[in-house]
Amino acid sequence: MIRLRRIDTVAAAASKFAGMLMAVLIGLSLLGAASYGRIRFGKRPEAPAAGPNATRAQDVPQPLGVEIPPRVVNYTYEVINSWPHDPQAFTQGLVYYQGYLYESTGLNGASSLRKVDLQTGQVLNKVDVSSDFFAEGLAIHNGQAIQLTWVTKQGFIYDLASFGLLRTFTYTGEGWGLTQDGRSLIMSDGTDQIRFLNPDTFQVERAIQVRDGSVPVTRLNELEYVDGEIFANIWLTDSIVRINPQSGNITGWIDLTGLLSPEDRRGPVDVLNGIAYDSARSRLFVTGKLWPKLFEIKLKLKRGAAHRASS
Ligand SMILES: [Ca+2]
């Protein structure tokens, strides 16, 4: 009995010790969890300012150091209107401004700046660019038309009303697309980079690298600033991407496959290129190089598998 009691006592002591140990362990683990939680959630990076379609799972705890990419929305289109477009115009820049289209056309010997009537496609004013240059992107800023050239690192500034050449400017790299956000000129150069230039000095203020998730997206061509986002044609594709101008993140892919009908492709048409936006009436215009038509389109959500730059 004594032996049994002793065993009971030892068992009771062991049980008591185990209970205390458990309490200590639980306490330590609670402290650890609280500390870990502060590191894990307290240092979660803030989401950058994003476009209307970029959302982040703000309320869902994310693993330490892992950025959740913005949601990329896929769009198709609906044609609202179509109008004639000069099939000789190798469109490299397109702008809608105060009731008219302005267009920059490329190719050495065929480059020009044009003022175009939207509904008839009639060229109302035109100035030819020297055959030494292959004209590219076009933006209108402060009553002036600003035109890039492809590989000659020289841009032209025209008076918008007279099309008189006011001056030239230079830049580094290639010139592809050009638009403006009211403050800066926004320029693509065929890479995944978009540069923001001071419109008076043409100095680079900042640059963004365009990414679909973590995948760089290159060949960004004609540009348009649309309600706080940058739209860009991807050269050699039927796609336009929507880009967050702060982060460079792609927020949407617009698939324009089939926009130009087989009948309209009888001539020597080239690729989709040319985006213009009528901000007053929220009208989005698109065309292509040597396309016989220009379209007003409306974006529609696309069902099905997500398009990623890596696919
Ligand atoms: Ca444009």
Of the listed ranges 31-35, 79-83, 139-143, 244-248, the least confidently predicted one is: 31-35
Detail the DSSP E strand segments found in 106-172. Answer: 112-116, 123-128, 135-141, 144-149, 154-159, 165-170
Q: What is the DSSP code (8-state) at residue 272?
A: E
Radius of gyration of the chain (CA): 29
Average pLDDT over every residue of 163-170: 98
Centre of ligand 1 to C-alpha 239, Å, is 15
Across the range 220-232, mean pLDDT stands at 98
The residues pairing with 165 across neighbouring beta strands, listed in sequence order, are 158
Q: What is the pLDDT of residue 13?
A: 47
Give the tens place of pLDDT for each residue, 138-160: 999 999 999 999 999 999 999 99
Centre of ligand 1 to C-alpha 229, Å, is 12
CA distance from start to end of the chain = 79
Between the CA of 222 and the centroid of ligand 1 the distance, in Å, is 6
Centre of ligand 1 to C-alpha 43, Å, is 40
* H/E element, 56: none
18, pLDDT greater than 60: no
Fold of 73-301: Neuraminidase (2.120.10)
Please give the distance, rounded to the nearest whole angstrom, from the Cα atom of residue 232 to the centre of ligand 1. 8
The token duo for 242 is 């929507």
Q: Give the residue-averaged pLDDT of 255-276.
A: 95
Average pLDDT of span 92-97: 98
Contact 158, 169 (CB under 8 A): no
Q: What is the pTM of this model?
A: 0.77
Instruction: Look over the chain and give the mean of its residue pLDDT values, rounded to a whole number.
Output: 84
Residue 237 CA, ligand 1 centroid: distance in Å: 17
Given pLDDT bands bounded at 50, 70 and 90, which one contains residue 39? very low
